[in-house]
Amino acid sequence: MKRVSLALAASLLVMSSLTISSGFDSALAEDKPASDEKTTSAPIIAPSSEACLERVRTMAESFPKMAEAGKEAVRTMIPDPDEFAKKLPTIEDVLKNKDAMNLKNYGGLSEAFLFKGDEEKAEKLLKSVADGAKEILPENDNFLAAVKGDFGLAYYLNNKYDKAETYLGDAVAQLEKHYQPQLANNLVASYLCMTIIKDKQGKTEEAKGFAKKLVVLALKLKQEQPLPVPAEKETAKENPEKKTQ
């Protein structure tokens, strides 16, 4: 059976990362350095949690259009999920042979089924991929987290917040624990969705926490600094009123 390499390009947010980045650049435009020089050593001083939440609420208005570009990219890559599946070894053989590459291909295939509207098949396939990943992929491999984040985003866009929250929570936990710059947009988008979900649930403090993480990460990306995960709670040393220079 010919091996087909879909690789990480199957991830929705990776495919649309440039669009997402440009959207956040626009939303954070007032935080750009005064000069054209890179300020890689300057400390990040984010706005207050309240201000961060307001910014994310604004970003959320245009986010569905950004995400749709990524969904369309996956649909273009795999227009017929059933036909694509025929090019792969069976999922049973993939699990038996600990075939990491085709396990990831099946992860991408699960997204294709989801974007086509076949939630039952997508969920069933993702469960097999997730079970296999525990034995086949190293603990610091973030592919499954990227796929789960995409599932969460898809459910978020369809207003299925309970399902979205479960997948996004798993994605955030893994992506924070094993941060990779190439998946920064996946993490940013997951933060955005979790912010809005918590906000709609009336859990304002939790919404502020995710919003703060999003803005801190976006600001660090703009300055091209290392990206430690921000603390869950603001420290006493932070000055909410002080603006980023």
- Could you give the number of structural domains in the chain? 1
Asked if residue 232 has pLDDT above 80, the reply is: no
Cα gap 203→208, rounded to integer Å? 9
For residue 153, the enclosing domain spans 10-28+44-223
Query: In angstroms, what CA-CA distances link 192 with 64, 67, 212?
Result: 11, 12, 10
Burial class of residue 181 (count of CB atoms within 10 Å of its CB; 0-12, 13-18, 19+): exposed
In a domain, 158, yes or no: yes
Least confident of 13-17, 87-91, 100-104, 112-116: 13-17
Q: Is residue 157 part of a domain?
A: yes
Q: Which residue has the higher pLDDT, 223 or 88?
A: 88
Task: Decide if 87 contacts 2 (C-beta within 8 A).
Answer: yes
Q: What are phi and psi of 6, to 5 degrees?
A: -90, -30
Domain CATH number, residue 84: 1.25.40.10
Residue-wise pLDDT tens digits, 192-222: 999 999 999 999 999 999 999 999 998 888 7
Question: Could you report the per-residue pLDDT of 146-195, keeping only the tens digit for each?
Answer: 999 999 999 999 999 999 999 999 999 999 999 998 899 899 999 999 99
Residue 156 forms part of a structural domain: yes
At 66, the pLDDT band (50, 70, 90 cuts) reads confident
pLDDT tier at 240 (50, 70, 90 boundaries)? very low
Asked whether 56 and 28 are in contact (CB, 8 A), the reply is no
Q: Which two tokens mark 119? A: 């939630």
Amino acid occupying residue 15: M
| Dihedral angle computed from the Cα positions of residues 210, 157, 167 and 98, in that order, rounded to the nearest 10 degrees | -130
- Report if residue 35 sits inside a domain: no
- Tell whether 39 is covered by a domain: no
| Maximal C-alpha separation, the chain | 61
Question: Are 145 and 188 spatial neighbours (Cβ–Cβ below 8 Å)?
Answer: no
Question: Residue 110, class by beta-carbon neighbours within 10 Å (0-12 exposed, 13-18 middle, 19+ buried)?
Answer: buried
Tell me how far apart the alpha carbons of residues 151 and 168 are, in angstroms, rounded to a whole number.
8
Burial (CB count within 10 angstroms: exposed 0-12, middle 13-18, buried 19+), residue 27:
middle
How many residues would you count in the chain? 245
Is 141 inside any structural domain?
Answer: yes
Residue 160 tokens, joined: 């299925």
Helix, strand, coil content of the chain in percent (nearest 5): 70, 0, 30
Q: Are 141 and 104 in contact (CB under 8 A)?
A: no
In a domain, 142, yes or no: yes
**Residue 82, in any domain of the structure:** yes
CB 171 within 8 A of CB 152: yes
- C-alpha–C-alpha distance, residues 202 and 13, integer Å: 27
